[in-house]
Amino acid sequence: MSETAKSFRVERDSMGEMQVPSDAYYGAQTQRAVVNFPISGRRLARGFIAALGMIKHAAAGSNNALGLLDDEKCGAIRKAADEVIAGDLDAHFVLDIYQTGSGTSSNMNANEVIANRATEILDGEIGSKLVHPNDHVNMGQSSNDVIPTAIHIAVLQAIENDLLPALRTLRTSLDNKAKAFDTVVKIGRTHLQDATPLRMGQEFSGYARQAELSIRRVGGCREAVAEVALGGTAVGTGLNMHPELAGRVIQKINERTGLEFREASNHFEAQGAQDSLVEASGALKTVAVSLMKIANDIRWLGSGPRCGIGEIIVPAVQPGSSIMPGKVNPVIAESVIQVAAQVIGNDLVVTLGGQWGSFELNTMLPVMASNLLESIDILANASRNFAERCIDGLEIDEERTASMIEKSMAMVTSLAPVIGYDKAAAIAKEAHQSGRTVREVARQQKVLSDEELDKLLDPMSMTKPGVPGA
């Protein structure tokens, strides 16, 4: 036998024989999908594969308890599924994201890997189907309810375990800076032009509130994602499934994850549509928009250091230029902005995927899974990194903030209620044309006493509600 022949084994499925790599746990159906979908080289996320393993593990135990699967096969399947959950068999999950829209190929990939590994555990020959991928591992299931369920499990776990903790870290960092910076008065800006003063702490309190609302928005979609399609099998009717199977499987998954998944109240909605995933993606997009605004503001506020705004000093984490010595760039903020752009793009794909439900099945599930899980992953990583490598190390150039306030023509705003809008506007115009400050022009024109001007032009008093000096 040649070396080439030795490196393959022959497996059969309903379409006939297929050569499969001899060291692969997957079988004929997976190999056909490998051949059919040489698209991107991108595979589905670790969390999704683990979720498939959880479903197969729980289904085997439940089918055994219902008297449908013998103890020996059940034990072997559960052991193999544990290896899938742990990531030990990830090398055998070889399929491209861009595959059959139902994810049938990925479901069969899991079924075949677990079946062959279970067969090996029972001292059988790989490919012999001593443990059958369809009859045993997939018992009482369909790709059409397993795949959306796996997506929901992976998404909710990633939200709970990764994204929400990261957003809480970012909120805490921003809130800490809001408190630390609350005595520093700076010039406000609207339309990128000078506006009335505010406290740096007030500005950062807005960012902290955005992070707080991001947590709320992401948390709000958990209820919808927790409802899973398992139990509908092919078209939502539950054909070929023991009536108690889905409930038992979901209970086991809840015990393993500590989360509270529940069977869909309407399986036809749960399989024909994926509105809950669209809702979750919309929340992620909103978080991305918030992070982009915060990161861009930090970038602007730290611009300079001498010829920009330069009110804050951004931590120097790496050299900023290959040609300009000493240059430091706001690279952490820039990474956040790029992540936000990717998440916004991912949301469009999820939105298009959600509307691609035709009759009893959505057929863009793999790409929806990939984009959602990528968005959660990079948002979590970017939020945590932003907090720890940028926000926590921010400092203020207080001399610069004070200087900018005094130079701003927006200071005249607090004079308007006392001397009138038109007269205040004339002072601002004169200050601009002459290069003097509002205070200097107002004193020169003797519009008010020095004592009254000092009260009205006190920057700290302008950061509070009411009329300054009243």
Q: What are the catalytic residues?
A: 191, 321
C-alpha–C-alpha distance, residues 30 and 352, integer Å: 27
Beta-strand ranges (E) seen in 248-307 are: 262-263
Q: Which pair of tokens denotes residue 104?
A: 């049938």
Structure tokens at 38: 């040489």
- Give the CA angle between residues 266, 227, 280 to the nearest 5°: 115
Query: What SS3 class is residue 199?
Result: strand
**Residue 78, class by beta-carbon neighbours within 10 Å (0-12 exposed, 13-18 middle, 19+ buried)?**
buried
Radius of gyration of the chain (CA): 30
User: Between vectors from CA 104 to CA 101 and to CA 107, what angle results, nearest 5°?
Assistant: 130
CB 438 within 8 A of CB 411: yes
CA distance readout (Å), 225 to 59, 151, 157, 281: 20, 9, 10, 11
Number of H helices, E strands in the chain: 19, 10
Token duo for residue 409 = 């023509």
